[in-house]
Structure 1
Amino acid sequence: MAKLPKSVLVLVHTAEAVLLLERLQPEGFWQSVTGSLEPGEDWESAARRELLEETGFSAQGLVDTGVRNRFPIRPPWRERYPADVEDNEERVFTLALAEPLNPRLQPTEHRAFVWLAPLEAARRCGSATNRDAILRQFHLVLDGRSLAS
């Protein structure tokens, strides 16, 4: 079944660090918790489900940031979507934790995790919208760009 071109990004963080997960494919691609909506699912339910599936973390304290992104679907994932779909709509959520916790990774999706200082996490993540979510959350500047709202 083809994926819906609607996804969530859940930025899991503490006051000083950001959780990134390394995907199995493509190797070396680091990101926050992400995933597509299932048919009939709303945005928040998808964020809660993906958070639980990819980390085992409770969604207590999950926040919808109000940030909405639209971007072209990248080649590594293109075949998962209907042929006539070119863009994906994404909504950004955050989950603040008191301290870094070890996630329970989904072994069919991720190979590793790391907690990084926000600027280092922004540099490492493989998606521009993920990078922007980190910069916005921590009111940071990277390469002369500030996304603080």
Structure 2
Amino acid sequence: MISWILILKLSLFGLAMGIATALFIPSNVEGFLWPVIFIICAYLIAKNSAEMYFTTGFCLSLVNCAWIIAAHLIFFNSYMAGHAKEAEMYNNNPYHLSPQIAMVIIGIVIGILSGLVQGLFAFIASKIVKKNRIIPFQD
């Protein structure tokens, strides 16, 4: 069974990153932070789940995706001002969508792809990590 409490608690990394990247973390730094977050989350999923590691990691990334898209939309002007490359991509999309709609669509695709990676990390961690719960993440 998937622990939605665990997913919601771990998704606070996504909320924090969504706000931080919108307000002050540039995209060239963000790329170094996500692998660290993926590894930490994979470890905590492996430590605190009894099964469905891949699915838990995948669902975690989908919830993170929602937090990040919401934060980037709420702080849209700040995000666009601090992320020129992404702003150009959103503004000049081939389908002539509004930048906000393009942000949502691209964010969902990135969320699904990162979910596959997070799920794989969690599955691999489940094969390495012993199952003693270290933090009270379970419901």
Higher share of residues assigned helix = 2
Tell which structure's C-alpha radius of gyration is larger: 2
| Fold in common (TM above 0.5) | no
Higher share of residues assigned strand = 1
Higher relative contact order (CA 8 A, sep 6+): 2
